[in-house]
Amino acid sequence: MARNCSTLLNIACLASSCLFRGSAIKSLLLCLPLCCSLLACGGSNGGEDEPTPSPNPSSKPTPTEEPSSLSTRAPQRLLGDSTLSGFITFDSVPHSTNGALDFSRTEQKPSRGVTILVLGEDAEVLRSARTDESGYYEVGAPESAEVRVVALAELKQSGTPGWNFLVVDNTDRGAEYSVVGELQNVDAVPQRNLHAASGWDELNDNYVMESLRPAAPFAILDATYDVVSALAEIDTGFSLPAVKINWSYKNIASAGNAQDGFIGSSKYDLSLKEIFILGDAANDSDEYDFSVIQHELAHFIEDSLSRTDNIGGAHSLSVKHDLRVAYGEGLANAFTGIVSKQPYYLDAAGIDAFYHLSINLESNRIWNAGWYSENSVGKIIYDIADAENEDGDELSLGLAGIYHVLVDESYVKSDALTSIYLFADVFTRIHGSSNASALSAMLEQEQIYGTGRFGEYEINDGGVDNALPVYRDMVQGELVEVCSGRQVVEYNGLGVSKLIHLTITSPGLVTFLIRRTVGDLNTNPDAKLYSNGNLSATMDSLVINSERASYTLASGAYVLEVFDNNNVDELDSTGGEACFSVSVM
């Protein structure tokens, strides 16, 4: 007699497997009864009556007190093994041309490169393998054994090129996502396919349960796989550190405790070295927004294989930003277009896609040209790589043309901070004069005129007072005046910080003195000192209108960043235009 699944409100038919967050064995065992119910949907019991499943099954197992990861260190097969094989797939939801998600065009795609485990009756790991480009796996199992197949939401490859990405639930103590198959005899059922469904109910045009979306972690990994594949094509020697990609249906666009889902936005957290992805289906969920995922992966790769001086914060294509922010965000925007092999940055939000973004990285008409524009930087870097050459674009160097600049030693160890100027300076040196001339034309088209890694002779101030020169030159013993303002936006806007290219000529104890000269009466001057991109010192006393600090320094080149803390505190009641004298003795 066929099972009647109507009482499950279509939940049981969402997938041929169970969503499994907890990696602990106890969590796995708690999850198994649900998996068996789901797998039986629509099948036959050979004429025997079967119990009616619960009308409200939960895919989230009760966690153990201290979840421990299932070890994936197991052989792929041993002598005398039987063979298990199958395909791992997930529901992929594409974007429409305007950037909204189009669930009516959902398609099953292969889960490429994910880890496969074969578990015994006591949840012990017997064998492990990895899916190929088609989502296919083949793995051994003890002859006649009762086993189940588990697909972990992770991409792991040891050696070089190497990577280790885990999709975990930050609201469930970092438990790793998986899909889990039935416990069956290996010889009786040698083919085991697992599918992670989106959880979308086309009839009601909504998720059946916002918390039941098995495809989400595997959609995130699909975008990730495109990234590592693109890198592996141009560099077989890289090795990325392990990184967690935190996704939960509870992750919302409000700041707070990430363990409760308050992540603020999808982001790469530079201090934690982890990625966080929004999952709030009613407002903004990014698991299918490959542009967002690959943008954050670009920040991770830049930090891991190159260097990043990006100070972060809210950013926009139309805002004039600090040169580090404009460069870092523009680079990440271009990166997603390059690895996804299409020119659009796509971002959808809300179940009804009431908000959506579709920006052509190459030909958008957002007019904010300059060295302070992430839009300008993104256009330039994308045009260096892409194969289509419109007017003013003579370069088609692919991802390799960008990557080899980012990993070049002169870039990684430069005394200048990361910016379009540093990128162009290193590009010119390693790619030759003809390519350098083509890049110069592209820079001028975006109204970027400065030369060298410090942007000397730049004439475009973006209409912001005291934005130029990009760097002030200073030798120990001199006195210079710099200004800080919030004419654009606080924290990371153009003009908030002033950069000084500082040369220390006398090693030993060096004293920094910063004093207000004009502007607001109650300023709080602060400063940061960098050596080859590394933060060497932070000067952040609460003394009004002055800052004094001493450090033991070696001779050489440094970058000193000076700003009024009142212009970075995000408070409308503080800050404004102020200038300071800076002496280094």
Q: What residue segments make up the domains of the chain, in order of their start?
A: 64-247, 306-445, 471-584
Strand partners, 530: 535, 559
**How far, in Å, are 33, 113, 285 from residue 134 at the CA level?**
30, 9, 27
DSSP label at residue 169:
E
Q: How far apart are CA 163 and CA 237, in angstroms?
A: 11
Residue-level pLDDT, tens digit, the chain, 585 residues: 333 222 222 222 333 333 433 333 223 332 333 232 222 222 333 333 333 333 333 333 333 223 334 555 799 999 999 999 999 999 999 999 889 999 999 999 999 999 999 999 999 999 999 999 999 999 999 999 999 999 999 999 999 999 999 999 999 999 999 999 999 999 999 999 999 999 999 999 899 999 999 999 999 999 999 999 999 999 999 999 999 999 999 999 999 999 999 999 999 999 999 999 999 999 999 999 999 999 999 999 999 999 999 999 999 999 999 999 999 999 999 999 999 999 999 999 876 555 788 999 988 888 899 999 999 999 999 999 999 888 878 999 999 999 999 999 999 999 999 999 999 999 999 999 999 999 999 999 999 999 999 999 999 999 999 999 999 999 999 999 999 999 999 999 999 999 999 999 999 999 999 999 999 889 999 999 999 999 999 999 999 999 999 999 999 999 999 999 999 999 989 999 999 999 999
C-alpha count within 13 angstroms, C-beta hemisphere, residue 171: 17
CB neighbourhood size of 256 (10 A)? 11
Alpha carbons 412 and 414: distance in angstroms, whole number: 6
Task: Give the contacts of 544 (CB within 8 A, at least 6 positions apart).
Answer: 522, 523, 524
List Cβ neighbours of 358 (8 Å cut-off, separation of 6 or more): 95, 97, 98, 99, 344, 345, 346
Q: What is the pTM of this model?
A: 0.88
For the packed helices 323-340 and 215-234, what is the interaxial angle rounded to 10 degrees?
90
- Cα dist from 13 to 29, 36, 40, 201, 432, whole Å: 21, 12, 9, 11, 58
Whole-angstrom Cα distance, residue 513 to residue 584? Answer: 6
84 CB-near residues (< 8 Å, 6+ apart): 118, 137, 138, 139, 140, 141, 147, 149, 186, 190, 191, 192
Strand residues in 406-478 grouped as ranges (E): 471-475
pLDDT tens for residues 91-132? 999 999 889 999 999 999 999 999 999 999 999 999 999 999
Which of these CATH numbers, 1.20.1050.140, 1.10.10.10, 2.60.120.380, 3.40.190.10, describes 471-584?
2.60.120.380
The two structure tokens encoding residue 91: 């529901």
